[in-house]
């Protein structure tokens, strides 16, 4: 989940896989600044002449043969007379299709278009406009692709579960599989007598049969909702129950993990009450289930009333969990529960506005989680995460928040760092400009106007404009319709005003901005009392009013979605007073701006290192983490020789090891911030420094943690494990493998598996990759095991050679979605030779739906080559000036 604290690339990648990548549409590589753009393809939209109003579904899954049968009735309204009806279907075998208009029955001929995933029912006679009922009998497969209606497996048994967003409901039942075709659902499941089932509504009847050893579970009628929000899950789930605001809440899992459900229930109860109060619209269903699944490609899915999760995103023991794990579960739970209003109750009209779902849920999760536990100081993580999003959006290949998306491939690519991160950051900026209560009233007005319906971007910002009487429509239109990041260049303030020039910012210095691209932005200046005075910058503005203040800072609280550049004297003053004159979020913002200028070759890397050194004693874990993330990038991407890396390691030791020592060993009285800060420093110094003492300390902690997890604070224990793995031998590898195979703790188990991919010796790299291809690793996890060694310079060549030599076996471990993402990770190379090799290999070894991924991998390699050519000498020069290096 992206809300983790570990400075390691492994932890950062995992966070994106678990959340930003909820759909494992892995915006995956926001950390590597990749970006998937929309491809051109023929539209696959359904006609709007047939409107579904109600589905009645009975499904009978056979978990042994991995098949299911379905009986379906769809009430439809025909806008005009027709002899044919087209809807969506994939991997469905039709047995019979009839229509009943006004009591007369006709039998259809069925024609399939597999490419468009559509079925057309053609009838002998014209069906008149008005109401009709389609009756369908069909069969399907419980696939292993982690989408549609699929099998999820444990050592004990199989489960049948669903994942329909964005376009996979059609694999479970023929349907009008587009978000605007909302309808009510009556669902029944015929399952083994010892199994239960979960769906969107509560169980209203449980009757024996049909057939020996079966029982039929019938669920209550749902509200009108989109097909992608339907869910049905079959197995022997066990649940912990609670109640909040007259809603029954359950957190469910496989029986062996039910003891880990209580924390998620506490979060869910808090979030339900919080959202009922914030939105002013009560949660609309009678029950809410949260279900952890053994096999689940995404992080979580907001099915109306039946939210599904990866086990690591819902199940933890709070007494043994790290701070990051508890934050992660809280944020994923609050994100998905926010969707019950944003996305489920009110749904975007079409996928081009998926940000109305994901951006809102991202913005809302932070508010709810911050209220759930103020000690986590979520606003600082939001400020830090915004820096990653700004860097992502400063790539040449970024897109606008709202973009064309008609085919399943195009739609899947919309679940990325723009729909989640940028959209959430833009909403935060607008809320900050309007004031929290005014913005909340606008949110309520928007939701209330579209209950159980669909909405567009204009519906949202017009509601905010009407409530606030400020030009929210102009602000948001400029940010939603245009790609990229603005940079605001300020002159020196004089007489209460400052000149300002806006243009588009690129990390790549070879890119030239279009002067015609302009934004309307609220710019918030820090005033003398430490608060914000906001002014509106428009395309015609060249000067803004500024308040009197000890220093000039143009992104108060770090909530503006823009980069800043100051006059030299003003910037020098900000740096000199960064710890005393700026708040923590503002320090993150200023540091992020400086790093962006280094990437764009407008500043030298040594300037950034000096700025980080000034923050070494900062007591806020997120401030330090944000700065150290870029230090690791300098080590991995810019320092090109062993000598340069050794000298940089010495500087890391000299700068941060004393800070780590000052914190001392973990104690029971440590607050969460101190625990995270200690872990950040241990992992950075232990991995990128060269201190034998720190690595020895990490090994001692790791050994104790592996042998008795309850004896060590999990936050420092996880960091110590990472250091031990990266510097470990075969004995340590055996320990991690054993921990993965024997632990019943999802967090501990997942971390142990991922750390197998962190070992550096060639023999252990091969052993880890062999293990990733074994039946001991789930498909949902295999991709990350191949990706991790590609991110590290010491293991990249070995991993790449292995994958090329064993490509057929590697590809067999990948799901439909993750093949393209693995292609993306080859973008970590940083040489012309490697670039040409990557391009040649994937030209001759085609990976489905990876053409865009390959183009961006090549682009990223070229970007690294350029970055190194511009800044490597600057790094050498700076190192030469440091005493003792």
CA distance 753 to 376: 27
Whole-number Å distance between alpha carbons of 381 and 374: 12
pLDDT of residue 851: 76
**Lookup result for tokens 């075709």:** 181
Rounded Cα gap, residues 689 and 645, in angstroms = 9
User: The tokens of 438 are what?
Assistant: 């005014």
Which of 676, 660, 688, 583 has its CA nearest to residue 622?
676
Residue 486: C-alpha distances to residues 90, 363, 433, 622 (Å): 43, 21, 17, 25
Q: Tokens 């090994």 appear where?
A: 699
Q: Which helix (H) or strand (E) holds 10?
A: helix 9-15
568 burial via Cβ count (<10 Å: 0-12, 13-18, 19+): exposed
State residue 865's pLDDT score.
95
> How far does CA 713 lie from the centroid of its chain?
27
- The segments of the chain whose pLDDT lies below 70 read 1-43, 816
The H or E element that residue 289 is part of is strand 287-293
pLDDT for 810 equals 94
| Backbone angle region of 47, left / alpha / beta, with phi > 0 → left and psi within -120 to 50 → alpha | beta
Q: Are 165 and 301 in contact (CB under 8 A)?
A: yes
The CA distances from residue 569 to 554, 575, 613, in Å, are: 15, 10, 20
Contact 313, 329 (CB under 8 A): yes
CA distance between the termini of the chain: 37
Q: Is 413 helix (H, G, I), strand (E, B) or coil?
A: coil
**Distance between CA 60 and CA 28 in Å, rounded?**
36
- CA 709 to CA 653: how far, in whole Å? 28
Residues with Cβ within 8 Å of 576's Cβ and at least 6 positions away in sequence, in order, are none
Closest C-alpha among 382, 222, 387 to residue 306: 222
Report the pLDDT value the prediction gives residue 397, as an integer from 0 to 100.
84
pLDDT at 458: 97
Token digits for 236? 């022997």
Q: How far is CA 395 from the centre of its chain?
A: 19
Two structure tokens written together for 119? 């079925």
Tokens, residue 50: 């047939």
CA distance linking residue 225 with residue 244, whole number of Å: 23
Residue 860: partners with Cβ closer than 8 Å, 6 or more residues away: 32, 33, 34, 827, 828
CA quadruple 818, 820, 821, 822: dihedral positive or negative? Answer: positive
φ/ψ of residue 438, rounded to 5 = -60, -45
The neighbouring-strand residues paired with 58 are: 71, 188
Shortest CA distance to 567 belongs to which of 553, 586, 578? Answer: 553
Instruction: Report the Cα 669 to chain-centroid distance in Å.
Output: 33
Contact between 315 and 289 under an 8 Å Cβ cutoff? The reply is no
| Catalytic status, residue 458 | no
User: Three-state SS for 373?
Assistant: coil
Cβ proximity of 510 and 466 under 8 Å: no
Long-range contacts, 701-706 (Cβ 8 Å, 24+): 702/732, 703/735, 706/735, 706/736, 706/739
Give pLDDT, residue 43.
61
- Contact in structure between 144 and 160 (CB atoms under 8 Å): no
Query: What does the pLDDT read at residue 860?
Result: 87
Tokens representing residue 602 in the block: 């407008």
72, 117, 165, 336: the active-site residue: 336
Note the pLDDT of residue 115. Answer: 94
134: left (phi over 0), alpha (psi -120 to 50) or beta: beta
Distance CA 558, CA 589 (A): 5
DSSP β-bridge partners for residue 199 = 232
């Amino acid at each position: 989940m992206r809300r983790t604290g570990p400075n390691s690339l492994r932890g950062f990648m995992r966070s994106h896989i678990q959340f930003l990548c909820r759909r494992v549409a892995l915006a995956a590589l926001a950390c590597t600044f990749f970006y998937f753009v929309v491809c051109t393809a023929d539209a696959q939209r359904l006609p709007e002449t047939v409107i579904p109003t109600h589905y009645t579904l009975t499904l009978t899954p056979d978990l042994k043969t991995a098949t299911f049968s379905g009986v379906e009735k769809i009430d439809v309204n025909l806008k005009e007379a027709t002899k044919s009806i087209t809807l969506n279907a994939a991997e469905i075998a039709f047995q019979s299709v009839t229509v009943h208009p006004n009591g007369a029955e006709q039998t259809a001929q069925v024609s399939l278009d597999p490419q468009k995933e559509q079925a057309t029912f053609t009838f002998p006679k014209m069906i008149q406009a008005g109401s009709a009922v389609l009756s369908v009998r069909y069969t399907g497969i419980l696939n292993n692709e982690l989408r549609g209606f699929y099998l999820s497996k444990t050592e004990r048994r199989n489960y049948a579960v669903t994942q329909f967003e964005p376009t996979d409901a059609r694999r479970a039942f023929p349907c009008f599989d587009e978000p605007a075709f909302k309808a009510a659902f009556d669902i029944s499941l015929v399952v083994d007598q010892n199994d239960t089932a979960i769906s969107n509504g509560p169980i209203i009847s449980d009757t024996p049969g049909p057939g020996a050893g079966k029982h039929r579970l019938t669920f209550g009628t749902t509200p009108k909702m989109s097909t992608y929000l339907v869910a049905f899950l079959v197995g022997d789930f066990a649940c912990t129950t609670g109640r909040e605001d007259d809603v029954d809440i359950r957190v469910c899992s496989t029986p062996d993990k039910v003891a880990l459900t209580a924390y998620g229930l506490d979060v869910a109860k808090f979030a339900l009450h919080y959202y009922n109060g914030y939105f002013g619209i009560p949660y609309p269903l009678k029950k809410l289930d949260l279900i952890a699944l053994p096999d689940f490609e995404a992080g979580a899915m907001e099915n109306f009333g039946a939210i599904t999760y990866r086990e690591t995103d819902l199940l933890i023991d709070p007494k043994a969990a790290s701070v990051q794990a508890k934050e992660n579960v809280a944020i994923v739970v609050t994100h998905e529960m926010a969707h019950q209003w944003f996305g489920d109750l009110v749904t975007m009209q079409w996928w081009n506005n998926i940000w109305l779902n994901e951006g809102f849920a991202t913005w809302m999760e932070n508010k709810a989680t911050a209220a759930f536990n103020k000690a986590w100081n979520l606003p600082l993580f939001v400020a830090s995460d915004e820096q990653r999003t700004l860097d992502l959006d400063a790539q040449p290949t970024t897109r606008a928040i709202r973009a064309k998306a008609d085919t399943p491939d195009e739609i899947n690519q919309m679940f990325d760092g723009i729909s989640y991160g940028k959209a959430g950051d833009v909403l935060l900026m607008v809320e900050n400009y309007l004031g929290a209560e005014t913005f909340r009233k606008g949110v309520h007005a928007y939701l209330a106007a579209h209950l159980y319906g669909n909405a567009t971007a204009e519906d949202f910002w017009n509601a905010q404009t009407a409530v606030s009487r400020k030009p929210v429509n102009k602000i948001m239109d400029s940010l939603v319709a245009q790609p990229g990041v603005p940079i605001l260049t300020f002159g020196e303030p004089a007489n209460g005003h400052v000149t300002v020039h806006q243009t588009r910012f690129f990390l790549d210095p070879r890119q030239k901005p279009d002067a015609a691209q302009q934004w309307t932005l609220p710019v918030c200046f820090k005033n003398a009392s430490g608060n914000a005075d906001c002014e509106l910058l428009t395309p015609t503005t060249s000067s803004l009013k500024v308040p009197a203040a000890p220093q000039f800072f143009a992104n108060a609280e770090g909530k503006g979605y823009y980069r800043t550049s100051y006059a030299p004297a003003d910037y020098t003053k900000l740096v000199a007073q960064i710890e005393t004159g700026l708040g923590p979020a503002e320090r993150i913002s200023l540091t992020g701006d400086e790093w962006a200028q280094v990437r764009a070759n407008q500043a030298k890397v040594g300037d950034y290192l000096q700025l980080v050194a000034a923050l070494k004693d900062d007591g806020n874990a997120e401030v330090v983490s944000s700065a150290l993330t870029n230090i690791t990038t300098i080590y991995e991407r810019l320092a090109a020789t062993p000598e340069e890396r050794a000298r940089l390691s010495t500087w890391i030791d000299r700068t941060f090891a004393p800070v780590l020592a000052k914190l001392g060993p973990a104690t029971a009285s440590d607050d969460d911030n101190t625990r995270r800060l200690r872990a950040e420093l241990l992992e950075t110094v232990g991995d990128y420094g060269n201190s034998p003492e720190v690595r020895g300390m990490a090994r001692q902690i790791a050994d104790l943690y592996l042998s008795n997890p309850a004896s060590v604070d999990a936050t420092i224990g996880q960091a110590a494990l990472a250091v031990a793995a990266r510097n470990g031998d075969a004995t340590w590898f055996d320990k991690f493998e054993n921990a993965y195979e024997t632990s019943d703790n999802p967090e501990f188990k997942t971390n142990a598996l991922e750390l197998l991919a962190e070992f550096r010796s060639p023999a252990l790299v091969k052993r880890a990759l062999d293990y990733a291809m074994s039946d001991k690793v789930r498909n949902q996890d295999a991709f990350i095991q191949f990706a991790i060694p590609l991110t590290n310079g010491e293991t990249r060549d070995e991993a790449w050679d292995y994958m090329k030599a064993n490509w057929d076996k590697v590809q067999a471990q990948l799901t439909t979605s993750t093949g393209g993402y693995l292609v993306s990770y080859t973008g970590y190379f940083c040489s012309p030779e490697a670039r040409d090799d990557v391009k040649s290999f994937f030209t001759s070894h085609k990976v489905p739906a990876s053409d865009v991924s390959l183009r961006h991998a090549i682009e990223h390699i070229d970007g690294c080559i350029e970055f190194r050519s511009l800044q490597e000498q600057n790094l050498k020069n700076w190192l030469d000036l440091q005493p003792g290096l």
